[in-house]
């Protein structure tokens, strides 16, 4: 048997603060042209919900930052794994904005979030390298792919990968796209095992030449309110089209590398970016095989958790593994597909057989 990377623990941190679409009715929405949108807010929000499927999202508490959420998710994953935290060889935190405190728009990136999490967990082992990954929304999965490469190379035996972001702190409240964004964290413990299960293959692509500006930082659409601050900005229509053209192809390439047929896939755990877009990606994937997606193959959390960037996929995995997603079960031998798309533009995918 080959040495493969196996998930031995999962965890997540879902903030308690629920923010419904109705809570957004008092906002003023402006367009990229700097003009106030001439539609009733109820109409704007109804259209948003119809397109994205988002009914509510979660925001971090005032006293929480991304590294705090990451530490909670990490502790949860450690508890579920039952391992000794001092046996970790690496701690990786994927994020995009560092720690952004409530009431500010400033990213705090020093020390690395992974170092902060290691300190919060009181891990003393100096051999547990703590470092960050910034790779857009696919960052958590990219961290997993990095760990798999290190395990296959024989450099490490056990690692933790966490995804954490607080997008509510970097989104423009006058931009309709801000309704998508949420906060959260998810984590996994990975270890080397002699088995035919675990990570079977992965694929990564970065289309930076023509697509790097689809997600950028820019000024508020309401120029009178935020003169100096910059916020996360998205070219939604172009991103949607790009994702439909590329994500399914990347997943198919990954399945072919693993020697896995589409009929063997039990669950597709995809980044919770936009409900309609994810459904379209799934349809495009099965269209490549001339097939229809089976019912229940793609669990979704976006309707109630929103888009928490790097946290969506590990959070989704944790909820399914722990039986918290009605109608969804993961069993030994099941084939899972992980996939994500985000700022860069980056895409990655991985195929995993459950031990």
Residues 204 and 322 in one domain: yes
CA–centroid distance for 332 within its chain: 24
CB 95 within 8 A of CB 163: yes
15 and 149: one domain? Answer: yes
**Would you state the pLDDT for residue 227?**
59
The DSSP 8-state label assigned to residue 86 in this structure reads G
Which residues does the annotation mark as catalytic? 137, 271, 307
Same-domain status, 155 and 206 = no
Q: Can you give the pLDDT at residue 182?
A: 97
Distances (CA, A) of 323 to 199, 319, 328: 22, 6, 7
Residue pLDDT, tens place only, 213-263: 878 878 888 876 665 678 888 888 888 889 988 999 999 999 999 999 999
Going by the DSSP 8-state scheme, the letter that residue 136 receives in this structure is S
pLDDT for the residue 225: 65
What is the domain count for the chain?
Answer: 2
Chain mean position to CA 61: 20
Same domain assignment for residues 91 and 75? yes
Q: Left, alpha or beta for 303 (phi > 0: left; psi -120 to 50: alpha)?
A: alpha
Query: Do 240 and 186 belong together in one domain?
Result: no
Compute, in degrees rounded to 10, the torsion defined by CA atoms 279, 284, 288, 292. 40
Could you tell me if 190 and 240 lie in one domain? no
Spatial contact of 142 and 348, defined as CB atoms under 8 Å apart? yes
* Dist. CA 67–CA 126, nearest whole Å: 20
One domain, residues 208 and 339: yes
Residue 213's pLDDT is: 82
Report the run of H or E that residue 46 belongs to, with start and end.
helix 41-52
Final residue before a domain boundary, out of 196, 222, 246: 196
Q: Give CA–CA dist 160/212, Å, rounded.
A: 29
**Within this chain, do residues 79 and 212 fall inside the same structural domain, yes or no?**
no
Contact between 265 and 296 under an 8 Å Cβ cutoff? The reply is: no
Segment (H or E) for 326:
none
Instruction: Please indicate, yes or no, whether residues 14 and 89 belong to a single structural domain of this protein.
Output: yes
Structural domain that includes position 16: 3-196
pLDDT value for 115: 98
Domain boundary among 163, 196, 229: 196
Say yes or no: 228 and 145 in one domain.
no
pTM: 0.94
Judgement on whether residues 251 and 144 belong to the same structural domain of the protein = no
137, two tokens: 């929304």
- 253 is written with which tokens? 């390439």
Q: Which residue ranges in the chain fall short of pLDDT 50?
A: none
CATH number at residue 151: 3.40.47.10
Residue ending a domain, choose from 196, 230, 259 = 196
pLDDT, position 86: 97
């Amino acid at each position: 048997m080959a040495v493969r990377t196996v998930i031995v623990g999962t965890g997540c941190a879902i903030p308690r603060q629920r923010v419904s679409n109705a809570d957004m009715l008092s906002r003023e929405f402006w367009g990229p042209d700097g003009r106030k949108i001439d539609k009733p807010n109820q109409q704007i929000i109804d259209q948003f919900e119809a397109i994205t499927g988002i009914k509510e999202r979660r925001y971090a508490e005032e006293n929480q930052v991304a590294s705090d959420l990451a530490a909670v998710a990490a502790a949860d994953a450690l508890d579920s794994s039952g391992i000794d935290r001092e046996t970790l060889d690496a701690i990786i935190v994927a994020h995009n904005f560092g720690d952004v405190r409530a009431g500010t728009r400033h990213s705090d990136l020093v020390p690395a979030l992974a170092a902060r999490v290691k300190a919060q967990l009181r891990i003393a082992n100096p051999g547990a390298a703590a470092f960050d990954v910034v790779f857009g929304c696919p960052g958590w999965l990219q961290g997993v792919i990095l760990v798999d490469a290190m395990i296959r190379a024989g450099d490490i035996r056990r690692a933790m990968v966490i995804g954490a972001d607080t997008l509510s702190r970097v989104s423009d409240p006058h931009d309709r796209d801000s309704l998508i964004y949420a906060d959260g964290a998810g984590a996994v413990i990975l270890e080397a095992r002699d088995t035919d299960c675990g990570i079977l293959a992965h694929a990564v692509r970065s289309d930076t030449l023509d697509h790097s500006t689809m997600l950028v930082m820019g000024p508020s659409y309401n120029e009178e309110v935020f003169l100096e601050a910059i916020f996360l900005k998205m070219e939604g229509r172009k991103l949607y089209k790009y994702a439909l053209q590329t994500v399914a192809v990347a997943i198919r390439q990954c399945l072919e590398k693993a020697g896995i047929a589409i009929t063997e896939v039990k669950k597709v755990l995809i980044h919770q970016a936009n409900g309609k877009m994810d459904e379209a990606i799934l349809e495009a994937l099965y269209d490549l095989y001339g097939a229809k997606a089976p019912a229940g193959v793609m669990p979704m959390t976006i309707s109630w958790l929103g888009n928490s960037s790097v946290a969506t996929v590990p959070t989704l995995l944790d909820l399914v593994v722990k039986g918290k997603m009605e109608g969804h079960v993961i069993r030994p031998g099941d084939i899972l597909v992980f996939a994500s798309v985000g700022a860069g533009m980056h895409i990655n995918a991985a195929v995993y057989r459950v031990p």
